[in-house]
Amino acid sequence: MKRLLVVLAGAAALAGLAFGFTSLSAGTSDVDWAFHGGSSDEQYFSELTQINRDNVSDLAPAWFFEYDTQRGQEGEPIVVDGVLYISTGWSKVYALDGATGEMLWQYDPEVPGEAGPKGCCDVVNRGVAVDDGRVFIATFDGRMAALDAKTGEELWIVDTIVNHDMDYTSTGAPRVFKGKVIIGQGGAERGVRGYVTAYDVETGEKAWRFYIVPGAPGVRDGEVSDDILEELARDTWFGERWIETGGGGAPWDAIVYDEELDQLYIGTGNGSPHSQFLRSEGKGDNLFLASVLALDPDTGEYLWHYQQTPGDSWDYTSVQNMNLADLEIEGVEHKVILHAPKNGFFYVIDRENGQPLSARPYAEDIRWATGIDQETWRPIEVEGSRYVDEPFLNSPHVSGAHNWQPMAYSPLTGLVYIPTTRNYFQYSATNAPHSGGGGLFGGADIPETDAYLQAFDPVRGEERWRVDATGWINDSGGGGVLATASNLVFQGRGDILGELLAIEAETGEVLWRHDAPNAIMAAPITYMIDGEQYVAVSTGGGGGGQPLFGSANPAREQQPGRMVVFKLGGTATLPPPPALAGPATDPDEAFDPAKVAQGSGLYLGNCSFCHGQPGLQSNIITDLRRSQVIRSADAFKAVVHDGAFLDSKGMPGFAGRLDESQVEAIRHFMGSESQKLAADQRAGRPERLERPAS
């Protein structure tokens, strides 16, 4: 049976647990959210029922807590013994009283600003692990720390990175099992060789390490993965480019320990370079990229794998969260993994042996493959989709039909609730936007996109209902999801501002919504203290892609991220939305048209991913049209070329990538853009229209 930490009053409640599922409300005193995903099966399902369809309209803020960082917040809270532990941007950790929000302690690992540019997708962190009086945090720069759960005192800290010359980062939540704590890394977009490492929870000593892809021929790592990589993986790689860039496969999110079968499941990442043509001479499955990998939790030994996207060329990671469940399929009970990776297909996998039981599309307009062959369980690829001879307009795009935002499974409805997008991307092997190589971007007329939360039937392989999420962020389908035994589904939305929704799990009817001053990307959780049920969610915009790259909604003044907690009859008042972003700098300078034109291309290639596309800036990371730095060539050079803001803000210097004349061209472009914005402001023209009211 899955682990779920509760304190119950009354023999009836204890008897209910003894016979399996029971809803928890009457007679329940305290219920923790002690594991990532709520329990050891990571279903994002809670058996609490105090908040239900009849009273959810009375749900209101109980308290909120402001973080000391404005960057993206993807963390999932963990609640143990009434204490809420949350990680924030820059890998900081807070311990808060779960009933009042009072801060008990804070831990700052002091991630150096110079680590920030190594990440593809902001300085985010997805959560901590808590076990036996210890809190575990993986820091953005790749350290693992164990903290005293009562005081926040650092008990031990180790460096998990094997090669600091590569752009490794750690953004995922550690998992704890059998006296070990495990973490993977990110960085395949920039060029790394992926691996996971397990450490002893008491000492921090390495227990074992498993590499996802082979290393250089003839060189053994001295790790548990050596033999299986030679036996199964080596012959699926070709050429030498992948050796230089690491090959990728970074397992940056999904790690699940199966208590019933005593197996550990790892979701692996994309290739580096992205294009198989550039990476591996256009040949080979490139094991173990884009796979679900099962390992022995004690030793790290290989058990089985299933590769969902052989020879990945599209950044179709398999790191998206996995729900463990028991399903009856054609009259037979199966212990399964439910998985919706980026590639647009939903997989039901027998977790005893890795055999797929079904693989059906959960996304619309999949263009790279027409389906999954039911005998080989390999994708049926569309000719030209690997963009070797010419660019290919593909769907899903690099952010996937479903990304890191956790989906939830309800054993009551039998449905999976997936944040979903229909999106498109022009792939080209002639462009290489990342230092690890890759070749992704190209111009194209992009069809209309869509974003929504869908309820998906994993047995029938079809959508049951959807709730629209367009008008917020185009590449997420909304934030992570929580399902409860009262047949409610909770999901947050937003890009700069946000909202939290409660949805009827069977029908998709929106029963309740509450505005939030921050975007909501993370999954909500729920817990009970002294007989009161709470719903908590970490809030704050950022992360990869939009809104940093561009927002459909107006830019606003910067604000801190927040933990927001709701309960029935709550009386707290959330802060108002931040004001629209302030006036343009409007430099009193005549900018050279030739430099403006040159700077436009340089800005798009070097600056827009963080500071935003021209005219679509969110100001979560400073909108340069509003920065005083653009007034002075010397000041702009000091920041952009020399890295004056590296330590304080994580803004890298571009010396070695851009010469001083190119940096000055970018300043001319931004100065010109600032003058245009100022003219619009003087004329009373809105920067962008507000999101329509729901």
Instruction: Give pLDDT tens digits for 582-612.
Output: 999 999 999 999 999 999 999 988 888 788 8
CB 621 within 8 A of CB 613: no
315 is catalytic: yes
pLDDT reported for residue 27: 60
Tell me how far apart the alpha carbons of residues 689 and 299 are, in angstroms, rounded to a whole number.
Answer: 56
In sequence order, what are the residues at sequence separation of 6 or more whose Cβ sits closer than 8 angstroms to the Cβ of residue 276?
282, 283, 284, 286, 311, 312, 313, 386
Residue type, 391: P
Instruction: Give pLDDT tens digits for 161-182.
Output: 999 999 999 999 999 999 999 9
CB 673 within 8 A of CB 599: no
Cα-flanking dihedrals φ and ψ of residue 630, to 5°? -70, -10
Q: Which of 308-317, 553-562, 683-692 has the highest mean pLDDT?
A: 308-317
Query: How confident is the prediction for the chain on average, in pLDDT?
Result: 91
CB 484 within 8 A of CB 24: no
Greater confidence (18 vs 53) lies with 53
Tell me how far apart the alpha carbons of residues 339 and 574 are, in angstroms, rounded to a whole number.
Answer: 35
CB 114 within 8 A of CB 652: yes
pLDDT reported for residue 9: 39
Q: What is the DSSP letter of 186?
A: B
CATH architecture of 6-568: 8 Propeller (2.140)
pLDDT reported for residue 117: 78
Share of the chain above pLDDT 90, in %: 79
Instruction: Give pLDDT tens digits for 210-224.
Output: 999 999 999 999 999
Tell me how far apart the alpha carbons of residues 396 and 491 are, in angstroms, rounded to a whole number.
Answer: 22
Cα-flanking dihedrals φ and ψ of residue 573, to 5°? -120, 125
* CB-neighbour burial class of residue 417 (10 A; exposed 0-12, middle 13-18, buried 19+): buried
Residue 608: CB atoms within 10 Å: 16
pLDDT reported for residue 26: 54
DSSP notation for 268-313: ---EESS-HHHHHTT-S--TTTTEEEEE-TTT--EEEEEESSTT--
Would you say residue 614 has pLDDT above 70?
yes
- Residues 490-498: what's their mean pLDDT? 92
Tell me how far apart the alpha carbons of residues 81 and 388 are, in angstroms, rounded to a whole number.
Answer: 55
Instruction: Give pLDDT tens digits for 2-33.
Output: 555 554 433 333 333 332 344 555 566 899 99
Tell me how far apart the alpha carbons of residues 570 and 500 are, in angstroms, rounded to a whole number.
Answer: 15
Of 483, 559, 481, give the one whose Cα is nearest residue 519.
559
Would you say residue 289 has pLDDT above 60?
yes
CATH architecture of 593-683: Orthogonal Bundle (1.10)
Greater confidence (430 vs 649) lies with 649
What are the angstrom distances between the C-alpha of 681 and each of 352, 435, 677? Answer: 62, 38, 6
3-state helix/strand/coil string of 64-118? EEECCCCCCCCCECEEECCEEEEECHHHCEEEEECCCCCEEEEECCCCCHHHHHH
Tell me how far apart the alpha carbons of residues 380 and 382 are, in angstroms, rounded to a whole number.
Answer: 7
Residue 392: CB atoms within 10 Å: 23
Secondary element (H or E) of residue 683: helix 660-683
pLDDT reported for residue 649: 79
Catalytic option among 41, 315, 450, 623: 315
Of 568, 602, 580, give the one whose Cα is nearest residue 677.
580
In sequence order, what are the residues at sequence separation of 6 or more whose Cβ sits closer than 8 angstroms to the Cβ of residue 396?
314, 316, 342, 343, 344, 363, 366, 421, 422, 423, 425
- Residues 635-639: what's their mean pLDDT? 95
Would you say residue 331 has pLDDT above 90?
yes
Secondary element (H or E) of residue 674: helix 660-683
Would you say residue 652 has pLDDT above 60?
yes
For the chain, helix (H) and strand (E) counts, in that order, are 9, 41
Beta strand 45-46 with 481-484 is parallel
Of 63, 72, 272, give the one whose Cα is nearest residue 171.
72
* CB-neighbour burial class of residue 270 (10 A; exposed 0-12, middle 13-18, buried 19+): buried
Instruction: Report the sign of the C-alpha dihedral through residues 2, 43, 249, 76, in that order.
Output: negative
In sequence order, what are the residues at sequence separation of 6 or more whose Cβ sits closer than 8 angstroms to the Cβ of residue 632?
none
Token pair listed for 558: 């910067």
Token pair listed for 419: 């944040």
What angle in degrees, to the nearest 10, is found between the helix axes of 660-683 and 593-606?
A: 100
pLDDT reported for residue 440: 45
Reported confidence tier of residue 513, pLDDT bands at 50, 70, 90: very high
Cα-flanking dihedrals φ and ψ of residue 76, to 5°? -105, 125
Whole-model pTM?
0.93
Greater confidence (656 vs 486) lies with 486
What are the angstrom distances between the C-alpha of 649 and each of 71, 618, 639, 664? Answer: 11, 17, 11, 21
Dihedral, CA of residue 399, residue 402, residue 407 and residue 413, to nearest 10: 170
Reported confidence tier of residue 677, pLDDT bands at 50, 70, 90: very high
Domain ranges of the chain: 6-568, 593-683
Tell me how far apart the alpha carbons of residues 279 and 188 are, in angstroms, rounded to a whole number.
Answer: 12
Would you say residue 438 has pLDDT above 50?
no
- Residues 427-431: what's their mean pLDDT? 71
